[in-house]
Every structure is written in C-alpha cells, then in structure tokens.
Amino acid sequence: MSPGTGLPGLGLRRIDARDAGLIAVLLILAAAGWVFTAGRMGGMDMGGWTDPGPLDFFLSTWVVMLAAMMFPSVAPMVTAYTKISRRRRETGRYAPRGSTTLFVAGYLISWTLFGLVAYALYQGVMQLVPAAFAAEAGGRYAAAGVILAAAVYQLTPAKNVCLTKCRTPLDFLLHRMRPGLGGALRMGMEHGSWCVGCCWALMVALFALGVMSVGWMALVGALIAVEKMLPWKRLANRSVSAALALIAVGIMLAPAAPGMTM
C-alpha cells in the first residue's frame, strides 16, 4: 500500500499533509479576519443601514472581511490549484513556488475592485438622497427592495453559470491554467471575477443590511458557504434565495427586530 493510499480496494485516499496544512492556514487566516473585523467594528455594529465609514477605513476592513468570509469556501479551489502546480513541478514543468500566494492575491484583488465600485455607488446615492436608507424616511423599503433583487438574482441563468464555475475547481483550472507568477495572479483574478458574478448580489444585500455589522456579515458569509460547498447545488441556491426573501419581508414588517437596531 503506497503512502498516499488508505484502505486497499476501497479507493480511499488519505489527505495529503501539505494540502491539510494549506487548508489549515486558510482557516486560521479566516479566523484571524473575524477577530480583527469584530475588533475593528466595535461600537459600529448597529444592525441595518450601518455606514461603511471613510474610504481608507472601509477598504482595509473590506479586504480583511473578505478573507474571513471567503477563505473557507475558496479553500477547495486553492487546494486544487496547489496540487496542479505541485504536479507540474514534479514532472519538470514550470510552476514557480509562491504561485499559490499570488493566486489568492488575485482573488482578493477582484473582490477589492468590486468593493470600491459598491462603495462609490453607495456614497453617490447617499450624496444625492441623504435619507435613502433612513428607517424613518421609509429607507427600510429601499433596503428590502435591494435584498429582494438579490433573491431574484439567485434564480437567474447568470447566477447558475457563475456558481457552477465556483463549485467545480478542476474544470476551471484545467481550462484556465497559465504558467508563471503572472499567470497565477491572472488566474486568481479570473476566479475572483467568477466569484463576484456569483456572489455580488449577496454582497450588495450586505451593504443594504449594514456592511459594518458583524452579525449580518456572518449571515451573508454563511449563505455564501452554503451555496458553494453543499453538494446539492440547486437546493442550496434556492434555499439562499428563500432566506433573502424572508429577510426582506422581515425588514419591511418588523424593522426593529433583533439585529436591526437603529
């Protein structure tokens, strides 16, 4: 029985220690991100409609928040990429060390660009209509509308295509593999772009709920993990859509419910 094989005849394999270590690093970084974000948002977690703050504060918090929310669900893709890169080195092909780090960096760059666009749009709306999301001015209906739109997007063909790309690491990697450090960065950005296409509506819903609210951040992160990691893609996707619709209805009917303290 070879070192990488489990029970003979059953086709079971032990987890490679290097892969387990990589997953552990990603989960530790995610946990550190949660701790940092919770401390950074101390006193700001006011439920729905929490202001994202100045750009420098938002940007630094956004990147760490992304690591906290996304690293657990992106771990299968990163692990698959690392395995392919390792195999290329073992067979004498070009695959420089450090490419995994650049792959993850590219992924974060795509989401950072999305965050900057979302922040600019949010600030633009607030400049034009300062009371757009104020509860006393009916802003909860605007927020509920944004969240309902996110629920509808869950059911569209575009969502299905992007979610499929995010859920099948080998299909993406085998068709998009590029050599070198620059190739790793580009691949990370491409995968991040598919992930943005998959989850942008959920992140917009987070802006409507309160982007500086740890509670809503945790809920949206859990919804992203559900639809990316559960084996039943259609059921997971429909469940996330239903959850968003219920949240939207709850905001319209009971804006002072727990977690929506103004």
Higher pLDDT, 6 or 176: 176
Per-residue pLDDT, 235: 85
> What share of the chain has pLDDT > 90, as a percent?
13
Higher pLDDT, 47 or 163: 163
Per-residue pLDDT, 138: 61
2: pLDDT strictly greater than 50:
no
13: pLDDT strictly greater than 70:
no
CA pair distance 162, 141, nearest whole angstrom: 29
Per-residue pLDDT, 172: 79
For 223-247, the pLDDT digits (tens) are 888 888 777 878 888 888 898 898 8
Query: What is the mean pLDDT of the segment spanning 42-61?
Result: 68
Per-residue pLDDT, 146: 85
CA pair distance 122, 54, nearest whole angstrom: 12
> What share of the chain has pLDDT > 70, as a percent?
82
For 140-193, the pLDDT digits (tens) are 777 788 889 999 999 999 998 888 888 877 777 877 778 888 888 999 999 999
In this prediction the pTM is: 0.78
Contact 241, 154 (CB under 8 A): yes
Of 121-125, 198-202, 254-258, which gets the smallest average pLDDT?
254-258
For 68-87, the pLDDT digits (tens) are 888 888 888 888 888 888 88
